[in-house]
Chains A and B, each alone.
Chain A
Amino acid sequence: MSEDTLVDELLAGKHRALARVITKIENRSPGYRGLVSQLHEHTGNAEVIGITGSPGAGKSTLVDKMASTYRDRGETVGVIAIDPSSPFTGGAVLGDRIRMGSNVGDMDVFFRSMSARGSLGGLSTATTDAVKALDAFGKDKIIVETVGAGQNEIEIVKTADTVSVLVPPGSGDDIQMLKAGILEIADIFVVNKADMDGADRTVMELREMIGMRDASPMAGHHGADTLADTDDAVDQGSDDEGWQPAIVETVAKTGEGVEEFLETIDEHVAWLSESGELEAQARQRYEAEIKTLLREDTAALLQDELAARGGLEAYIDRVLRKDTDPYTVADELMAPLEDCVAEARDGG
């Protein structure tokens, strides 16, 4: 299938084409960049929700209930569920689909499992691009689900407009861990399995933690507050510090609290667009995307240049013999590139 027909078919709502486009994105098949470029102008209509949390927190089950609630409202849903893959064989068992019991047979819920194919931190690029494909396809809501541990996952959930972090009850130590990284990215904390003992305590601990964060002068939300703060005074009345992370309680298994959770998401999205944060987020996202692509492309350019010069081994030998040092080698290898760039700029 040629790229143009693939894009046409995807825009026309053909599931097979959407699935194939995502495969090409995942595989980085030749021509996938052209595909994503063509999709870009058709994006921007979907609302993206990120769900993260420790393994067994109930993410997949909650996503299932969210999807079916959105379907009841008459909206279409896309889900991208990311599972880890083995660093040794590259193999993976992608098990999130099993929990999608409420939506089997409903083609308007497009569920796609992706594995974290280790290399190059390319997963966040692939996720961003897959979200674009679902967006261009015309999905109203797109849910990105991933295990929340480590920088990679944080990068991934940043593709979302609203980031929800699931916290199971009784995870006092987990909250300690959350403080370090995930706290900053959560717009909504979901205490799932709220029927279990200790749920109240977890809610209380979270509330305390959020309070502490607000008291800290270093507090910032998505790092974009400096920008937002300056014009906040104009339209923001009571809630002058921006968005305060909300806490909701759910029992994903029974669906309890899911409505409230979705309403909180709606509130957050409303706040995003009123405060201008939505646009700021989009700007940040595109900035990050362009930077990532540039980094990968220049790395590839360097790789080619290195290969043409016979690889790094010879340089390493020289460094080992103390004939030279890593900085000098880097300068040496960069020099021709810098010359080319300077020349092109002058001549341009």
Chain B
Amino acid sequence: MSTEQEQRTIRCLVAKVGLDGHDRGAHVIARAFRDAGFEVIYSGLHKSPDDIVQAAVQEDVDVLGISILSGAHDTLVPKIMDGLDEYDALDDTLVIVGGIIPDGDREELYEAGVANIFGPGSTMEETIEFVRENAPER
């Protein structure tokens, strides 16, 4: 049946959180994801962790990409993870982080449930490839 034929598209939320106004990276990644055939929802600037959680839950995204360059990742990212957990969305959302994350802070983020961190020098291809391979099966 044509109406039962699955038409799956990977949905991503590209999120800027906190008082961090640098959104060039987020724009570039949003565009690259679009060109890779994903559906991209961009959060806009200066969102609170709760806003991001609301958007991720309502849009039922497969992938949440958090762009953060302010150094506040160690407080903001865990808040988002807790929020996702509250709505039972933590298990099947692939969370990736992009931006400036010092090496010493990475382990903590991985423990909180972040799947991968893409710092300076990461290529679009490897990011897209990672998303394609790890987007959760639903």
Interface residues of A (CB under 8 A from B): 15-16, 19-20, 22-23, 26-30, 32-33, 85-86, 89-95, 97-98, 101, 104-107, 110-113, 115, 117, 119-120, 122, 125, 293, 296-297, 299-300, 303
Q: Which residues of B lie under 8 Å from residue A23 when comparing CB positions?
A: 11, 60, 138
Given contacts A20-B60, A91-B33, A117-B9, is CB(A97)–CB(B2) below 8 Å?
A: no
Identify A28's interface contact among B3, B42, B55, CB under 8 A. B3
Asked if A30 and B40 sit within 8 Å, CB to CB, the answer is no
Quote the shortest CB–CB distance from A4 to chain B (angstroms): 17
**Is residue B116 within 8 Å, beta carbon to beta carbon, of the partner chain?**
no
The answer to whether B123 has its CB under 8 Å from any CB of chain A is: no
Contact B58 A19 (CB under 8 A): yes
* Minimum Cβ distance to chain B for residue A211 (Å): 42
Closest to B52 in A: A104
Docked Cα-Cα span, A16 to B33, in Å, equals: 24
Across the A-B interface, the 5 shortest Cβ-Cβ residue pairs:
A19-B60, A300-B2, A91-B34, A98-B44, A89-B37
Residue of B nearest to A92 (CB): B39
**Do the beta carbons of B58 and A112 come within 8 Å of each other?**
yes
Q: Of B3, B37, B88, which contacts A300 at CB under 8 A? A: B3
Please name all residues of chain A whose beta carbon is closer than 8 Å to the beta carbon of B44 when the two chains form the complex. Answer: 97-98, 101
Within 8 A of A (CB), among B59-91: 59-60, 87-89
Q: How far is the CA of A86 from the CA of B59 in the complex (A)?
A: 19
Beta-carbon contact of A91 and B39 below 8 Å: yes
Choice from B42, B48, B57 contacting A95 with Cβ under 8 Å? B42
Which residues of chain B come closer than 8 Å to A27, judged between CB atoms? 6-9
A residues near B37, Cβ cutoff 8 Å = 86, 89-91
Chain A neighbourhood of B3, CB < 8 A: 28, 33, 122, 125, 293, 296-297, 300
9 additional A-B residue pairs with CB within 8 Å, beyond A19-B58, A33-B4 = A28-B6, A85-B39, A89-B36, A91-B38, A97-B59, A98-B42, A98-B44, A104-B47, A117-B7
> Does B109 count as interface, using CB distance less than 8 angstroms?
no
**Which of the residues A15, A20, A93, A106 comes within 8 Å of B40, measured between beta carbons?**
A93
Tell me whether A92 and B60 are in contact in the complex, defined as CB-CB below 8 angstroms, given that A27-B9, A97-B41, A300-B2 are known contacts. no
Measured in the bound complex, the distance between the Cα atoms of B38 and A26 in whole Å is: 14
Return the chain A residue nearest B87 by Cβ.
Answer: A16
- Give the distance in Å from the alpha carbon of A115 to the alpha carbon of B38 in the complex: 10
Q: Which A residues are in CB contact (< 8 Å) with B31?
A: 93
B30: Cβ under 8 A from any A Cβ: yes
Chain B: residues with Cβ within 8 Å of the partner, total of 38
| B37 vs chain A, min Cβ distance (A) | 4
Which listed residue, A28, A107, A110, A125, touches B5 by the CB 8 Å rule? Answer: A28
Check if B8 sits within 8 Å of A113, measured CB to CB: no
Residues on A with C-beta less than 8 A from B89 are 16
> A92 to B35, alpha carbons, bound, how many Å?
8
List the A side residues contacting B54 at CB < 8 Å: 104-107
User: Which residues of A sit under 8 angstroms from B34, Cβ to Cβ?
Assistant: 86, 89, 91-93
* Minimum C-beta distance from A265 to chain B (A): 24
Nearest CB in chain A: distance from B86 CB, A: 10
Q: What is the minimal beta-carbon distance from A348 to any residue of chain B, in angstroms? A: 22
Q: Which residues of B contact A94 (CB under 8 A)?
A: 39-42
Q: Name the interface residues of B1-46: CB closer than 8 Å to any CB of A.
A: 1-9, 11, 30-31, 33-44
A35 to chain B, nearest CB (A): 12
A22, A104, A293, A303: most-surrounded residue (chain B CB, <10 A) = A104
11 examples of A-B residue contacts, CB within 8 angstroms: A28-B5, A28-B6, A30-B6, A85-B39, A95-B42, A97-B59, A105-B51, A105-B54, A110-B58, A113-B39, A113-B59
* Least CB separation from A30: chain B residue: B4
Judge whether A113 and B48 touch: CB under 8 Å.
Answer: no
Chain A residue at minimal CB-CB distance from B34: A91
Contacts of A26 in B (CB 8 A): 7, 9
The distance from the CB of B47 to the nearest CB of chain A, in whole angstroms, is 7
- Of chain B, the residue at the smallest CB distance from A90 is B37
A200 to chain B, nearest CB (A): 33
Q: Which A residues are in CB contact (< 8 Å) with B59?
A: 19, 97, 111-113
Whether B7 lies near A15 (C-beta < 8 A) is no
Nearest B residue (CB) for A114: B39
User: Contact check: which of B1, B40, B51, B55 meets A297 at CB < 8 Å?
Assistant: B1
